[in-house]
């Protein structure tokens, strides 16, 4: 016998994360863990120490050439990263 007001476990967990304001942090962790698959292995090999603070992705780049390339593709990279997690997790990228 099925109850009328039953919900799936997935919906309940999503609501709990949203109520506790943890859904954004979970998306940020997912984004950092999937960095190499999002940007590609060559670009990921040139970046290190990724972290997100206040919707800003901070990257430490090994080469000035790669830093310049990332600066040029910053807007498209932000869009691609946000699409990968489904929410606006990143608003800006700071390269160091």
| Number of domains the chain contains | 1
Q: Following DSSP, what letter does each residue of 63-90 receive, concatenated?
A: -HHHHHHHHHTHHHHHHHHHHHHTS---
Closest to 31 in 3D by CA, of 92, 91, 90, 93: 90
Asked which of 13-22, 37-46, 84-93 is least confident by mean pLDDT, the reply is: 13-22
**Residue 61: which domain range?**
9-95
Residue 61 reports pLDDT greater than 60: yes
pTM: 0.77
Average pLDDT over residues 34-56: 91
Better-scored residue on pLDDT, 22 or 33 = 33
Supply the CATH number for residue 90's domain: 3.30.300
Specify if 2 maps to a domain. Answer: no
């Amino acid at each position: 016998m099925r109850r009328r007001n039953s919900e799936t476990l997935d919906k309940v967990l999503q609501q709990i994360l949203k109520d506790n304001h943890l859904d954004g942090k979970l998306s940020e962790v997912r984004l950092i863990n999937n960095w190499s698959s999002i940007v590609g292995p060559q670009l990921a090999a040139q970046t290190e120490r990724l972290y997100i603070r206040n919707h800003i992705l901070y990257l430490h780049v090994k080469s000035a050439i790669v830093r310049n390339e990332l600066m040029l593709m910053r807007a498209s990279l932000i869009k691609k990263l946000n699409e990968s997690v489904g929410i606006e997790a990143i608003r800006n990228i700071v390269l160091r």
